Structure formats: C-alpha cells, structure tokens
Amino acid sequence: VTQQSAGRVLVVDDNEQNLALIRAQLELAGYVVSTATSGGAGLAAAAADRPDLIVLDVMMPELDGYEVCQRLRADAATASTPIVMLTALHERADKLRALETGADDFLSKPVDRAELLARVRSLVRQKRLLATVEQERATLDAVMASMTDGLLVVDADDRIRFCNARAATFLHLDPAEAVGTRAERAFERLLLQMPGATAAGAAWRSALADPGARPSFELSLTADGQQRDVLVDLFPFQETGRPAPENGTSGQGVGVLLRDVTPQRDLARAKDELVAVVSHELRTPLASLVGFAELLLVREFDEEERREFLGIIQEEGRRLTSLVNDFLDLQRMESGRQTVVPVPIELGPVLARAVAAAGDDPARPIVLDRPPVLPLVSADADRVLQVLANLLSNARKFSPRGGQVTLAARPLEGEVEVSVRDRGLGLPPEAVPCLFEKFYRVDNSDRREIKGTGLGLAICRQIVEAHGGEIGVESEGLGTGARFTFTLPTASPVVGSGDVLVVDDDSGFARLLEEAH
C-alpha cells in the first residue's frame, strides 16, 4: 500500500551537502523530492516535473535564485507554484528582494528543520486549495460554455461579471471584452439594432429595477444572422464578500438567463394559424347552411326554390362532414394514434380495386399501366386504397376539360413506385413544394370552382410516410397536367420457416388470418 505523498518538492541548491540535508528532512516528512544543482537545471526540472513547491537557493553561480524565480513566474506552467527562497541569515535586503521577485516565502540558512516543514506544509496546502478552486472554476466554465441557454451575470455596480458564449451571441458582445464593462451600456447598444426597441428597453429597465420579482420577458433578437424569440429571465443573487447594503446599492447582483424559445413560438404560431384556418373552413359552409335554413323557416318559397335551398343545405352539410372527417383522420395520424398496419400484399389487386371504386367517367378514363409481375409490397391495403382514391379523384377534378388519367406502377430498388398522371390544369412551380401542406390551395382562377377540404393530400402524405415511403409531385407548369408519385417498400423476400405469407387483396381478411396465425 503506497501512502499518498504529502506533496512533490523540487529543491534547487548548488551546495550538494545542503541539498542532501533538506532532501532527507523532507523525505522523512513524506514528501517526494527531486533536486537540481544549478539555476538552469532547476528551471528544466520545474518545467518537466511540475512540483507542488520549489525550494530555491538565492546564492548560485551563473543563474542566481532571483533570476530563476522571475523566470518561473513568467512561465504560465509555474506561475502559481509556491516558491520558498533560501537566504542568508539576517539579510533583510535579500528577503525583501526574494518576495519582490515573486517568492511566496523565505527561510534563513542554516535551515531549521521544524520551520522548513511548517512553511512547506502550509504552502503546499495553499497550492492544493488553489488547484481545487481552479479546477472547480474550469468545470463551471465548461458547463456554462456548453449550456444552450445564455447566461449573463451583472454585479451590484452594473458591471458584467460573466457572460457565456451563448449570451454573447444573443447580446452581440465579445465575451473577452464585455467582462468589467457596464451592462446598461451594452444593452443600450443592443437596443439600437433591435425591432421594438422602446418596449424592449422598458422591459429591461423595469426588470433590472426589481430583479427580486424574478421578471421575465421576451425579446426578438438576431443571433447568427437569424431572428430568434428569446425568453429573458432575471434573478437576483447576493454577492458574497460585499459589505451590507448601504445607501442606494442593494448589494445584489443580477443573473440573466436567455433562452431561445423560437421553436416553441413557431409551434404556437402554427397552431394559431391552423385554428384560424379551420375556423374559416368550418364557418364558410355553416353560413349557407344556417342562412338557408333560417330563410326556409321564415319565408314562403315555391317548390323549386325550396328544393334548391335544401340541396344547398345538404351539399354544405356533406362538405362539413368530410372536412371534420378528414381533419380528425389527419389529427389521429399526426398524433400517432392511428397507425398503418403493413403486411406483405400484392399491389395489383389494390390498383384494380382503386380504379373500379373511382367509377366510370368517359371524359376522364383511367388507364392502368403495370408490368405483369410486381414484387410484394409491405402495405396496409385499406390505407393505400385511400391514397389512390384521393389521387385519382384529384386527377379527374383538376381535368375540367377531360383527359386520360394513367395509374402506373413500376418496381424500383427495394420499393415499388405508384404514379397517377393526368392531363389537366397542372401546377405553377411555386405550388409544388407546398402542395402537401394542410389547407394549401393553388390560387389560380382556373380552379376556383373546384371544391375540396384542402386536407386530402396532407392525409396522403401521412399515410405514405407511415409506410416508410415518399410522396411527391411533378408538373411542367400550368396546363400541362401533373404526375403524383408515391413509393411503398417491397416486402422482405426472405420468409423464414414457420412464417405464413398472407396474400389477399382484402386486407381485413388478411389481418384476420394473420391474427389467427
């Protein structure tokens, strides 16, 4: 069992006898001792060994103790290493000079054993305390530098005491220069480049005036060239070592936490927008529904008008129903409550069923284009049918002057691509990236008569993505038609022993078989 050493000490002395004596005394007390017999050798040993303490003789040829001491202090590695100088007895000038060149203490020759050990022990303890504090500080710095929140610490005199990297980014400060400067001035400068500066300035000043109330406010700041919503929280702290509060000053510093809440605000904004759109989409059919019902109740109309208005009520009622259905469908999928249940299926029968379900429309015939053999896909047939029904109905709706619709499928690497091609109105380029967004409508006079909930394609995207596939659209522009494509992953071709492959175009039955199995 090795006992932990009391410390590592470097002794530098040109007198070998003296050196041996000090070494023996220190080693007996439990120190690990290294030695050097000249100033030059001492500097080299100090750099290499990083001792906890250096005992340094003043009187040495060539490089004397004062010179060595100065050089040790100039080197960052040894700048804070305790140094005890060995001086001649009663030489007051030597002792003063030792302290002036950076020594922490001195011992007079001949060295008294008890005094040597007492001074060394005290200085090593101080050195270790300092090392602990420095390590704590370094850890704290590392933590604060890694924080996603900005942290600014302002003392009771309004001087910036600390500013981590994130806070510096938010407040446009140079962290190295900011420390020690007036916080108010830094903030005034920041205000100059901020929108809504007056309100922000008022919030900042009233918050600083009463940090005890733990004020919290939001600022719109630019960080790394981007506009960010930043939540600012202030909290007071009592500065340690500060005299009790006296006239004017509270003796309290203020901590400022800056949190980037842009993602949360974006989400809230998107939610508000959605609520507004949904409210609009619900109120529009309600206007006709409620309005005509009221007219029918309070006025007399002939049979023809009566039937017309009832027809409108029914039509708008259906529109509301599909809107609510589509919206709930989408919500269930987005929240993950409704999931697809993919099983290996043959796509061919699903495509054929989709065409049959779309019904006849002589002006807009649907042509099925598929190779005789397609790999099995891993899909939920009912959900795929829903996507196909949507895309086929859109293809026809947006072909007001008629035109052929082609439903095609082709195998790709690890997936099957299904496409629906029409020769209808087509899409302006700016619509392509937004087309699968909720309630997005192409704003062009050629399609104002075409109705829909604005949710069909958003639902299609959810379903396809839940399968692990991708959905997309291409169009060469207005009047050229559009081609919607989506992919479905092929079913794993390896079927282990004991596995049963269920192939049935009726997915309900397929699922039943699977569960029975």
Partner 1 sequence: LKKKVLIVDDEDNVRRLVAVTLSGGDYEVLQARDGVEALAVAQRERPVLVLLDVSMPGLDGIEVCRRIKADPALRGTTVVMLTAQAQADVQRRALAAGSDTFLTKPFSPLQVLELVERKVGAGP
Tokens of 84: 């005890």
Which residues within the stretch 431-450 sit at the binding site for partner 1 (CB under 8 A)? Answer: 441, 443-445, 448
Toward partner 1, which CB reaches closer, 129 or 276?
A: 276
Yes or no: say if 455 and 501 are a contact pair by the CB < 8 Å rule. Answer: no
CB of 302 to partner 1, least distance (A): 12
What is the identity of the amino acid at 320? L
Toward partner 1, which CB reaches closer, 316 or 326?
A: 316
CB of 369 to partner 1, least distance (A): 35
CB of 271 to partner 1, least distance (A): 13
Q: Please tell me the distance from the alpha carbon of residue 364 to that of residue 400, in angstroms, as a whole number.
A: 9
Select the span of 129-137, 204-212, 253-261, 272-280 touching partner 1 (CB under 8 A). Answer: 272-280
CB of 413 to partner 1, least distance (A): 42
Greatest extent of the chain over all pairs of C-alpha atoms, in Å: 130
CB of 440 to partner 1, least distance (A): 12
Toward partner 1, which CB reaches closer, 331 or 444?
A: 444
Q: How far is CA 365 from the centre of its chain?
A: 50
Q: At 453, phi and psi to the nearest 5?
A: -85, -15
Concatenating the DSSP letter of every residue in 304-347 gives HHHHHHHHHHHHHHHHHHHHHHHHHHHHHHHTTSS----EEE-H
| Cβ-based neighbour number of residue 195 at 10 Å | 11
Query: Alpha helix locations (H) across 398-516?
Result: 456-466, 507-516
Select the span of 133-141, 253-261, 283-291, 431-439 touching partner 1 (CB under 8 A). Answer: 283-291
Q: Please tell me the distance from the alpha carbon of residue 45 to that of residue 63, in angstroms, as a whole number.
A: 15
| Cβ-based neighbour number of residue 93 at 10 Å | 8
Concatenating the DSSP letter of every residue in 258-271 gives EEE-HHHHHHHHHH
CB of 299 to partner 1, least distance (A): 8
The one-character DSSP state at 359 is: -
In sequence order, the 6+-apart residues with CB closer than 8 A to the CB of 300 are: none
Q: Which residue has the tokens 């842009």?
A: 262
For β-strands 483-489 and 471-474, DSSP reports them as: antiparallel
Toward partner 1, which CB reaches closer, 276 or 512?
A: 276
Toward partner 1, which CB reaches closer, 286 or 466?
A: 286
**x-or-dash pattern for partner 1, window 231-270, by CB under 8 A?**
----------------------------------------
Toward partner 1, which CB reaches closer, 453 or 490?
A: 453
119-149 burial, b for 16+ CB within 10 Å, e for fewer?
A: bbbebbeebeeeeeeeeeeeeeeeebeeeeb
Q: Does 292 bind partner 1 (CB under 8 A)?
A: yes
CB of 295 to partner 1, least distance (A): 5
Q: Does 283 bind partner 1 (CB under 8 A)?
A: yes
Toward partner 1, which CB reaches closer, 94 or 281?
A: 281
Q: Does 294 bind partner 1 (CB under 8 A)?
A: yes
Q: Does 290 bind partner 1 (CB under 8 A)?
A: yes
Q: How far is CA 83 from the centre of its chain?
A: 49
Among residues 72, 77, 73, the alpha carbon closest in space to that of 42 is found at 72
The one-character DSSP state at 446 is: G
Q: Does 298 bind partner 1 (CB under 8 A)?
A: yes
Select the span of 253-261, 277-285, 393-401, 502-510 touching partner 1 (CB under 8 A). Answer: 277-285
- Residue of the chain from 262, 284, 406, 480 that contacts partner 1 (CB under 8 A): 284
Yes or no: say if 290 and 298 are a contact pair by the CB < 8 Å rule. Answer: no
427 membership: H or E segment, kind and range: none
- Residue of the chain from 102, 117, 255, 309 that contacts partner 1 (CB under 8 A): 309
Which residues within the stretch 128-167 sit at the binding site for partner 1 (CB under 8 A)? Answer: none
Toward partner 1, which CB reaches closer, 27 or 315?
A: 315
Toward partner 1, which CB reaches closer, 50 or 306?
A: 306
What is the identity of the amino acid at 486? F
Q: Does 286 bind partner 1 (CB under 8 A)?
A: yes
Q: Please tell me the distance from the alpha carbon of residue 199 to that of residue 191, in angstroms, as a whole number.
A: 10
Q: Does 316 bind partner 1 (CB under 8 A)?
A: yes
Toward partner 1, which CB reaches closer, 237 or 301?
A: 301
Select the span of 152-160, 200-208, 305-313, 377-385 touching partner 1 (CB under 8 A). Answer: 305-313
Yes or no: say if 235 and 210 are a contact pair by the CB < 8 Å rule. Answer: no
**x-or-dash pattern for partner 1, window 20-49, by CB under 8 A?**
------------------------------
Q: Does 312 bind partner 1 (CB under 8 A)?
A: yes
Toward partner 1, which CB reaches closer, 296 or 466?
A: 296
Q: Name the site residues for partner 1 (rule: CB under 8 A).
A: 276, 279-281, 283-284, 286-292, 294-295, 298, 305, 309, 312, 315-316, 441, 443-445, 448
